[in-house]
Structure 1
Amino acid sequence: MRLRIDLGYDGGAFYGWARQPRLRTVQGEIERAIRTVLHLNRGSGGTLAGPDIPESADTDGTADDIRLDDIRLDDIHLVVAGRTDTGVHALHQVCHLDVDERLLARCVGHMQVTPVEALERRLQRVLPDDIAIHRISAAPDGFDARFSALERTYVYRVCDDGRFVDPRTRGFVVAIDGRLDVDAMNEAAASTIGLHDFGSFATPNPGGTTIREVKYARWERVDPHAPLHGAYGEPVPYAESGLLCFTIVADAFARNMVRSLVNGCLQVGRGRKSVEWFVGKMAEPKREGSTGPAAAKGLTLEYVAYPPDDQLASRAQAIRAVRTL
């Protein structure tokens, strides 16, 4: 069966989402945890052994027996909505997992819950503190975490104007000296909206393109005061007070696209580059040194949106086509 997994993570201690040999990644940690709770250990004679199935257990050759001949350990493979880079965070990421139902049932143990809920509970207990499982559910027909997605929303958070960075937010906020020109930055960001080749600000995957459709892109300064007041009427600040946040929504993003767009906007906001320079880079999709990515820690994947269940399969089929202008 296919499972949908909704999760979040602090990307500061990860080398990105995608599994890599000898490096700590989000995918690697979760897949390792799933193998643990499903008791995917090698037993004698090629059986899958674990706390509930001793290595010496006899098998009777029925369909209920689970053997490595039937299920490979590397079958535990997560497909994600968006592969975040090293140091990038996710408030709400989505991935899917295809798993044999016989295997899934092994994590129930003595709990009076469904196998899916049992997996969710056990993963929440064994995963490290910088990964949080929001929910695990049986995926509807046609669901593909990557290709069924309608759009992804990212937010990049900046602290400018020489203000101190709240110590609680230092892991996902980037400090910038001087006050940024938000109007100029928004003028530049407006040129990204629509279907464009973002070749000046992104790297294509093998066989892919840098053509993407941006639906929304805007810088906004968070109100410096919450709608709360102290005993004497003074405004009470909150964690994101005064931060400058860039929100961008697109059908998908190419590698380094968001952080490179952020860096371009920041150069405009600092007065180092003009709006015309940024617009020119959009018009001529050519990668060069001045459009490299901004620091990773300021970026968070906030949300992934999907269509109604009856449109999941058609969306996945349509998005697999190579984009053109």
Structure 2
Amino acid sequence: MRIRLDLSYDGTDFRGWATQPDFRTVQGSLEDAIAMALRIPLVRVVCAGRTDTGVHARGQVVHFDVDRADVAASAGRSRGPALDALVRRLNGILDGDVRVRRATEAEPGFDARFSALWRRYAYRIADRPELIDPLTRRHVLAWERRLDVGLMNAGAEHLIGLQDFAAYCKRREGATTVRTLLAFEWTRTPHGLIEGRVVADAFCHTMVRSLVGCLLIVGEGRRPPPWAAEVLSGRVRDASMTVVHARGLTLEEVGYPDADELAAQAVRTRARRTAE
């Protein structure tokens, strides 16, 4: 059977999502916990979005394949559903900075990565001294200069749509930097924080943090809003633009099509990736 897990984590103390020798990663911790909970050899999980070092997730989605009998056996004498028992076992094994929110049997054709239609991230900033809270320092960026949300939104408008985001991505050999940015907007929360909402079909390495870095410069008034488009058209990284810290970034949600479209979406996505 294929199991879908929905999970959240604080990325501060992880060296990103992907398993790395000698480093603590989200994938490595989760796979070890699954193997222990089900009393099976190590399994591999597939995630919807591989988050970088220090990036958090509230809505990460993964899948893995396992023998149905192993899931049933792991429940022991539990009278409830076996997958509910699995959630309890996993959360009992994992450290507190990773929580499995639910486990379900995946619909036919479901693939956590390739069936996804879009990913939504949020980036949170405190740009006033009275908003900088040491209790939220792990997931809110402290910025010591005031930002103009209107300017940031004006700059973001230039980036919407199907674009080559090479100027905003760390290049990987053989990988495309063409993405469809579906939404990019900035608001102030009732508590005064600045929150960026970024939605795309997929993101390349460091893309969100690079986009935010550009708009911080615009928001300070150091560059006009059209500069975001000028950087984009250059297709190379601008030395004056920094990749902002990961602490303000959270993967909030992943969107999937209806059950009868999951397999077809996975096929379409794989075809595009193969063409890269």
TM-score interval for Structure 1 and Structure 2 normalised by the shorter chain: over 0.9
Aligned pairs for 1:150-189 within 5 A: 150-189=117-156
TM-score for the superposition, normalised by structure 2: 0.95
Partner of 1:85, secondary structure, is: coil
Counterpart residue number, 2:37: 37
In the alignment, does 2:56 pair up with 1:89? yes
Provide Cα deviations, 1:18-60, integer angstroms capped at 9, x if missing partner: 11111111111111111111223xxxxxxxxxxxxxxxxxxxx
Segment of structure 1 superposing worse, 310-319 or 201-210: 201-210
Distance 2:173 2:130 in 1: 42
Which amino acid in 2 is paired with 1:145? A
Query: d(CA) in 1 for partners of 2:84 and 2:227?
Result: 52
Residues 293, 109 of structure 1: alpha-carbon distance in 2 compared, 3 angstrom cutoff:
same
C-alpha deviations, 1:181-220, integer Å up to 9, x for none? 2221111111111000000001244432010101110111
* Cα distance change on mapping 1:107 and 1:90 into 2, 3 Å: same
Deviation at 1:162, TM superposition (A): 3.0
Whole-angstrom CA distance in 2 between matches of 1:289 and 1:100: 51
Higher helix share goes to which structure?
Answer: 2
Distance 1:142 1:206 in 2: 29
For 1:270, the equivalent position in structure 2 comes to: 220
CA distance in 1, matches of 2:193, 2:250: 14
Is the 2:55–2:249 contact (alpha carbons within 8 Å) kept by the matching residues of 1?
yes
Other-structure match for 1:65: none
Paired residues for 1:1-325 under 5 Å: 1-40=1-40, 73-74=41-42, 76-223=43-190, 241-322=191-272
- Contact kept, 8 Å, 2:231 with 2:238, in 1: the verdict is no
Is the Cα–Cα contact under 8 Å of residues 31 and 78 in structure 1 kept in the other structure?
A: yes
* Runs of at least 5 residues in structure 1 that lack an aligned partner in the other structure: 41-72, 224-240
* Aligned sequence identity (%): 46
Partner amino acid, structure 2, of 1:314: A
Letter matched to residue 194 of structure 1:
G
Amino acid at match of 1:26: V
Q: Give how far 1:293 is off.
A: 1.5
Which moves more between the two structures, 281-290 or 296-305? 281-290
- Decide whether the 8 Å contact of 1:201 with 1:292 is kept in 2: no
Counterpart in 2 of 1:57?
none
Listed one character per residue, the Cα deviations across residues 201-252 of structure 1 (whole Å, up to 9, x for unaligned) are 01244432010101110111112xxxxxxxxxxxxxxxxx100011111111
**2:131/2:193 contact within 8 Å kept:** no
Other structure's SS at 1:16 match: coil
For structure 2, which runs of at least 5 residues remain unmatched after alignment? none
CA spacing shift, 1:159–1:209, aligned 2, 3 Å: same
**For 1:320, what is the secondary structure of its paired residue?**
helix
Alpha-carbon separation, structure 1, partners of 2:168 and 2:271: 22
Deviation at 1:99, TM superposition (A): 0.8
2:212 maps to amino acid: V
Asked if the contact 1:116–1:137 (Cα under 8 Å) also holds between the matched residues in 2, the reply is: yes
Does the CA contact (< 8 Å) of 1:4 and 1:136 recur in 2?
Answer: yes
Q: Name the aligned partner's letter for residue 256 of structure 2.
A: Y
Deviation at 1:178, TM superposition (A): 2.0
Q: Which residue identity does 1:272 align to in structure 2?
A: R
- RMSD over aligned CA atoms reads 1.5
- Say which SS state the counterpart of residue 132 (structure 1) adopts: strand
Q: Conserved in 2, the CA contact under 8 Å of 1:162 and 1:179?
A: no
Question: SS at 1:275's partner residue?
Answer: coil
- Aligned counterparts of 2:194 and 2:143: Cα–Cα separation in 1: 10
Farther off after superposition, 267-276 or 78-87: 267-276
Check whether the contact 1:16–1:85 (CA below 8 A) recurs between aligned residues: yes
CA 205–311 in structure 1, closer or farther in 2 if over 3 Å, else same: farther
